[in-house]
Amino acid sequence: MSGRSQELAERLNLSPFGGEQREFLKCTSVEGGVPRGVICEITGTARTAWVLDLLVSNPELSTFWAEDRFTILPTAIHQRGVDLSRVLMAETGEKLFPVLRKALQAKLFDCVVLPGAIEEVRMLKAVQLFAREARACVFFLSKEPKSAWAIPFQLRARWRPGGRSYAVELLKSKFHSQVSASVSGE
């Protein structure tokens, strides 16, 4: 690769072998980590616990947590070990998409957490583009996995019997060579 081509590839964040270079957040329950700049759909009974554990594992991340109406208390987030000075919480009402768009366009947040309320493909495409530009992980906390192509990373986190730990199953990933079975989380 010539010097000019290499410089352009670096500026565009492209791998010398073709394709985009991807950054990953460290995550003990997903081998290789969680990709940045994409929509990550998290389903299952332990989805919120999994996201909070990811934030504890990556204390440097700034997070925007949006809900149409709050279902989680900041004290619960703090009790799980997340530094609340790194989390901005917003109750969006009916304006979830415009608020989400502004948060991602500001490029201030490494992670955005929201309910899996966006169903329209056009909006999902827009969120994916905004996430890519911002290099942010957008976590949809959904009850059931969606089959939308605009969601390239899906996992399920379910509480084990007794409720002290959860199992994580990687359902879909365009970034990992194989989809793993079940991994422990705490």
The predicted-structure confidence for 171-182, as pLDDT tens digits, reads as follows 999 887 644 444
The answer to the question of residue 118 being in a domain is yes
Q: Is residue 16 part of a domain?
A: no
- Structural domain includes residue 7: no
pLDDT, residue 7, reads 58
186 pLDDT higher than 80: no
* Distance from C-alpha of 40 to C-alpha of 59, rounded to nearest angstrom: 19
Asked whether residue 157 is assigned to any structural domain, the reply reads yes
For residue 21, count other CB atoms closer than 10 A to its CB.
12
- Confidence band for 18, pLDDT divided at 50, 70 and 90: very low
20, β-bridge pairs? 14
DSSP structural state of residue 161:
T
176 in a structural domain: yes
Average confidence score pLDDT of the chain: 86
CB 166 within 8 A of CB 159: yes
The CA radius of gyration of the chain, in Å to the nearest whole number, is 17
Instruction: Give yes or no for residue 129 having a pLDDT over 90.
Output: yes
Q: Does the pLDDT at position 136 exceed 90?
A: yes
Q: Which two tokens stand for residue 114?
A: 């929201």
Answer for the pair 65, 100: CB distance below 8 angstroms, yes or no. no
Instruction: Return the structure tokens found at 113.
Output: 């957490």
* Phi and psi, residue 159, nearest 5°: -65, 140
Residue 137, domain CATH? 3.40.50.300
Predicted local distance difference test score (pLDDT) of residue 177: 63
Q: Which amino acid type is present at position 158?
A: R
User: Can you give the length of the chain in residues?
Assistant: 186
DSSP code of 20? B
**d(Cα 171, Cα 105) in Å, to the nearest integer?**
28
Distances (CA, A) of 183 to 28, 29, 67, 108, 177: 9, 6, 28, 31, 16
Write out pLDDT tens, residues 22-44. 899 999 999 889 999 999 999 99
Q: What is the mean pLDDT of residues 6-15?
A: 50
72 in a domain, yes or no? yes
Domain with 118, as residue range(s), is 22-185
11 lies in a domain? no
**Angle, alpha carbons 162-66-72 (nearest 5°):** 35
Q: Which two tokens stand for residue 40?
A: 């990550």
The domain total for the chain is 1
